Chains A and B, each alone.
Chain A
Amino acid sequence: MAKSFKGGIHPPYHKNLTKDKEIRTASEPKEVVLPLSQHTGTICTPLVVVGDTVKVGQKIGDSDKLISAPIHASISGKVKAIEPRLHPSGSKILSIVIESDGQNTVHESIAPFPPLEKLTREEIRKIVRNAGIVGMGGAAFPTHVKLSPPPEKKISHIIINGSECEPYLTCDHRLMLEEPEKIILGTKAIMKAAGAINGIIAIEDNKPDVIKIMQKLIKGTLNLKVIIVKTKYPQGGEKQLIKAILNKEVPSGGLPMDVGVVVNNVGTAAQIAKTLLTGMPLIDRIVTITGSGVKNPSNLRVKIGTSIDFALQECGGLQGETGKIMFGGPMMGLAQTSVDVPITKYNNGVIVLSRKEVTILRDDPCMRCGKCIEACPIGLMPNFLGDAGQTSNWKRAKELSVKDCIECGCCTYVCGSERLLVHYIKLAKNALQNKLEKRKTK
């Protein structure tokens, strides 16, 4: 029996568009835009100036704060500009623009690391940090922080997230199919760094091909297991995975490490392996470029900083009347204002919907059908949270545990009154956060 959690939804998956398409490497971009914030946490400061020549893998931005991750040049060439540029989040963020010299010269510091057995926990953490590795499943949380739990928190389980529950996306699926050894090596490295004895690779039961391959590869490895989870959105949410697999709950306001678990995406694990084997930091990633608005939907390996425009051209360009372009999956992804936005470390998908496919919600009054409550994987009452957000009743939103919302979007998806529930919830969260910060500064 595949394991699962309470609530959730079964949206149409549309994975057939790309699930059988092999990962293809995009051609070299003429220019990359590397925002100095591609992670949760402190923005980096540039280590180069305009006019500098940089090489592939060279560190060009860093921060001395713990929760941050350095930025590396993904191509070789000249630093053309350091200025605020449009970021996937919608705002302008200081970015380093590199013009390619077409050489792709690798920086001299790049060299393979010793095998995993010879590395200490500290060394692995340092390697991961210096490689700028962040959660590649969309969360963008700096991975080295996850691997360095405080001494009082003992980590028992590492869960490698291969659920890929968002509709349309298949980059993790393809990665698991094409580079399973890397994922397993990365998992072992994560286990060693975090000091965990058990490693679990969690895969949704709609990917039987991957399950078979992984099971075969880990055969005989005592502390590694493949666990099959039910195909349901948001199965890949870390709270949902932990509940489904270990029947534990991350305490409200806490982190997975509070229950002795660290969850990492398969992409992150593979990147760690790649860095160990080659020394190359995080400079490229696989992106599923798909949707009815794309001529040739693909799983594309692109250099970080490549514009969506360039990536779309690599996939035959747009077709039909474009309605919406989003970064990430359709449930939690961000709608983009322009194709002139760089692909960052955590962008797992670019989805183009035609105008016809875009639903404009009516935002009618709640008819109280209760479907959002059934669908909420956290056990919240989104209908009342929506009311609280809509009427700026922040106190009520707090009482209703608005901060526990993971913004998975299930409530809005099922809402018969077509309410913008996630929108109202985000409003309430922001307002409460601002209030808190104001109180702190007082």
Chain B
Amino acid sequence: MSEKLILSVSPHIHSGESIRKAMREVFIALVPAMAAGVFFFGIKALILIVSLMAASIITEFIMLKILGKPVKGLDGSAGITGLLLALILPPIYPIWMGIIGIVIAIVIAKHLFGGLGYNIFNPALVARAALLASWPIATTTWIKPLQFLSKEWWGNIPSLDAITQATPLGITKLAALGQTTESLPSYFNMFIGNRGGSIGETCIIALLIGGIYLLWKKVITWHIPVCYIGTVFVLSALLGKDPLFHVLAGGLVIGAFFMATDYVTAPVTSKGKIIFGLSCGVLTVLIRLYGGFPEGVNYAILLMNIGTPLLDKYTQPRVYGKK
């Protein structure tokens, strides 16, 4: 025998799962939401998405180089972070601000904590929270959907006032203070995404298709999205609000399927995931109804990210043969 035999510890076969593959599936699952965002909010949304993804991959590459990590670590996760951040930003968001968000996400939230697998907080959500604190107006300036259908769009450059519109949750918050006369979009429009909001959060049907795809491909499990959305539905109903509205509005669906399920920052056990989802739901409703912000998904998930190590510790499965 002249050839050398390969040696390794058992097992000698593998399922073929990999980080790259998981990231590819998440990307595929986000394509419908991306397409819907571009359809409703125009080409600027696409430019923002592409720029942030590129910026994210470049930042990741630089960080790996600086930290002396192998560039094989370029596994697609940075691209997903860029995509997710773009999807939770307003469609006409200044690109440079977005890039600052990316730097915060990749450098601070991810690599300063040790890189993929070690970060405590969801990088995209940290970036959005930081951007909201830094540029509160820009980060909450939403545009009307389907502008290309309106006359003003094709004439002169419209004024910002003419094209902006509050999000449904924003409208309820302002209406409660008597500061708006805008009316809420119909359930149907909210379901298909014909409303103001972040690029990727408005089209619920597209997000559901993506979410179901991830469930089908076993990239995620049902625990977090079902518990999260279910809790928001039940709790808002108990508190006398319109439960369907609260499920369709804001970033709940994108948050529940794509942010709260982030492997790195969510619990690893099924029980932990259930508690995580329930808690995210409670926090979201509390922030929405009693907090200063109209939307609470971002902070709810970030707050629960802190609890992840604890949930991992206290939801360990029972070991066979042990009481």
By the criterion CB–CB under 8 Å, are B12 and A333 in contact?
yes
**Distance to closest chain A CB from B248 (angstroms):** 29
Interface assignment of A2: CB less than 8 Å from any CB of chain B = no
Q: Is the CB of B321 within 8 A of A367?
A: no
What is the CB-to-nearest-CB distance from B265 to chain A, in angstroms, rounded to a whole number? Answer: 8
What is the minimal beta-carbon distance from A437 to any residue of chain B, in angstroms?
22
Cβ of B267: which chain A residues have Cβ within 8 Å of it?
A: 370
Whether B157 is near chain A, meaning CB under 8 Å from some CB there, is no
Q: Of residues 296 to 319 in B, which have CB atoms within 8 Å of A's CB atoms?
A: 312, 316-319
Question: Which one of A101-109, A140-148, A181-189, A404-412 is at the B interface?
Answer: A404-412
User: Given the complex, which residues of A lie within 8 Å of B312, measured CB to CB?
Assistant: 381, 384
- Digit string of A218-250 for contact with B (CB within 8 Å is 1, else 0)? 000000000000000000000100010000011
B322 to chain A: closest residue by CB: A252
- The listed residue (A358, A374, A422) touching B270 by CB distance below 8 A is A374
Question: Complex: how many Å from CA A360 to CA B316?
Answer: 30
Contact of A423 among B9, B12, B75, B266 (CB under 8 A): B9
Once A365-B117, A367-B264 are accepted as A-B contacts, the answer to whether A422 and B11 lie under 8 Å apart by CB is yes
Q: Is A373 an interface residue (CB 8 A)?
A: yes
B22 within 8 A of A: yes
Nearest Cβ on chain B to A430's Cβ, whole angstroms = 12
Q: Check if A332 sits within 8 Å of B10, measured CB to CB.
A: yes
A334 and B10 within 8 A (CB): yes
Q: Are B318 and A415 in contact (CB under 8 A)?
A: no
Nearest CB in chain B: distance from A4 CB, A: 14
Q: Tell me, in angstroms, the Cα distance from A332 to B52 when the chains sit together.
A: 45
Question: B148 in the interface, Cβ–Cβ < 8 Å?
Answer: no
Measured between beta carbons, the chain B residues less than 8 angstroms from A27 are none
Contact stretch, chosen from B13-21, B125-133, B237-245: B13-21
A404 in contact with B317 (CB, 8 Å): no
A369 at interface, CB cutoff 8 A: yes
Q: Does A418 contact B (CB under 8 A)?
A: yes
Residues of A within 8 A of B8 (CB): 324, 335, 360-361, 420
Contact B5 A422 (CB under 8 A): no
**Chain B residue nearest in CB terms to A410:** B11
Q: How far in angstroms is the closest Cβ of chain A from B113?
A: 12
B9 adjacent to A426 (CB under 8 Å): yes
Q: Which residues on A sit within 8 Å (CB–CB) of B21?
A: 416
With A and B bound together, what is the CA distance between A418 and B117 in angstroms? 13
A-B interface contact total, Cβ < 8 Å = 166
* Residues on A with beta carbons closer than 8 Å to the beta carbon of B263: 367-370
A323 to B10, CA, bound (A): 15
A371 within 8 A of B: yes
Q: Check A404/B320 contact, CB under 8 A, given A323-B6, A417-B19.
A: yes
Please tell me if the beta carbons of B319 and A379 are within 8 angstroms of each other in the complex.
yes
Query: Is A369 in contact with B22, judged by CB distance below 8 angstroms?
Result: yes
Residue B161, interface by CB 8 Å: no
Which of B1, B15, B317 sits near A414, CB closer than 8 Å?
B15
Contact with A along B17-53 (1 / 0, CB 8 A): 1110110000000000000000000000000000000
CA distance A167 to B316 in the complex (A): 30
Assess whether A213 is interfacial by the CB under 8 Å rule.
no
CB of A379 within 8 A of CB of B19, answer no
- Contact, CB under 8 Å: B7 / A359: no
Nearest Cβ distance between residue B301 and chain A, in whole angstroms?
15
Residues on B with C-beta less than 8 A from A401 are 319, 322
Give min CB distance, B277 to chain A, whole Å: 14
A322 to B7, CA, bound (A): 12
- The size of the chain B interface, using a CB distance under 8 A, is 44
A281 within 8 Å of B (CB atoms): no
Contact among B5, B15, B118, B321 for A413, CB-based, below 8 A: B15
The answer on a CB contact under 8 Å between A365 and B6 is no
CB distance from B235 to the nearest CB of A (A): 26
Residue in contact with A416 in the complex, picked from B12, B18, B268, CB distance below 8 Å: B18
The CA-CA distance from A381 to B67 in the complex, in Å, is 29
In the assembled complex, how far is the CB of residue B4 from the closest CB belonging to chain A, in whole angstroms?
9
Question: Which of B12, B16, B77, B320 lies in contact with A335, CB distance below 8 A?
Answer: B12
Chain A residues with CB under 8 Å of B15's CB are: 9, 11, 413-415
The smallest C-beta distance from A106 to any residue of chain B, in angstroms, reads: 34
Q: A331-B10, A422-B11 given as contacts; is B19 within 8 A of A254 (CB)?
A: no
Contact between chains at B1 and A338 (CB < 8 Å)? yes
In the complex the two chains form, is B12's CB within 8 Å of A353's CB? yes
Contact A379 B320 (CB under 8 A): yes
Contact with B along A356-399 (1 / 0, CB 8 A): 00111110111111110110111111011000000000000000
Which residue of chain B has its CB nearest to the CB of A404?
A: B319
Contact B13 A367 (CB under 8 A): no
Q: Which residue of A lies closest to B7 (CB)?
A: A335
- Cross-chain contact of A407 among B10, B75, B117, B322 (Cβ < 8 A): B10
**Which B84-143 residues have C-beta < 8 A from chain A?**
115-118
B268 and A373 contact, CB distance less than 8 A: yes
A251 within 8 A of B: yes
* Chain B residues with CB below 8 A from A383, complex form: 268
Closest to A377 in B: B320
Q: A305-356: which residues lie under 8 A (CB-CB) from chain B? A: 321-326, 330-339, 351, 353, 355
Is there contact, CB below 8 Å, between A11 and B12? no
- How distant is the Cα of A334 from the Cα of B270 in the complex, in angstroms? 33
Residue in A253, A335, A339, A362 whose CB lies within 8 Å of B6: A335
CB distance from B58 to the nearest CB of A (A): 21
Residues of B within 8 A of A416 (CB): 17-19, 21-22
Q: Which B residues lie within 8 Å of A332 (CB)?
A: 10-11
| Complex alpha-carbon distance, A422 and B10, angstroms | 7
Kindly provide the distance from the CB of A69 to the nearest chain B CB, expressed in whole angstroms. Answer: 24
B165 at the interface (CB under 8 A from A): no
How distant is A235 from chain B, measured CB to nearest CB, in Å? 14
Verify A412–B117 contact, CB threshold 8 A. no
> Given A367-B116, A369-B22, are A422 and B9 neighbors across the interface (CB < 8 Å)?
yes
Q: How distant is the Cα of A323 from the Cα of B3 in the complex, in angstroms?
A: 9
Given contact pairs A324-B8, A416-B17, a sample of 11 additional A-B residue pairs in the complex whose CB atoms are under 8 Å apart: A330-B11, A333-B12, A360-B8, A362-B18, A364-B18, A366-B117, A368-B266, A370-B270, A374-B270, A379-B320, A418-B18
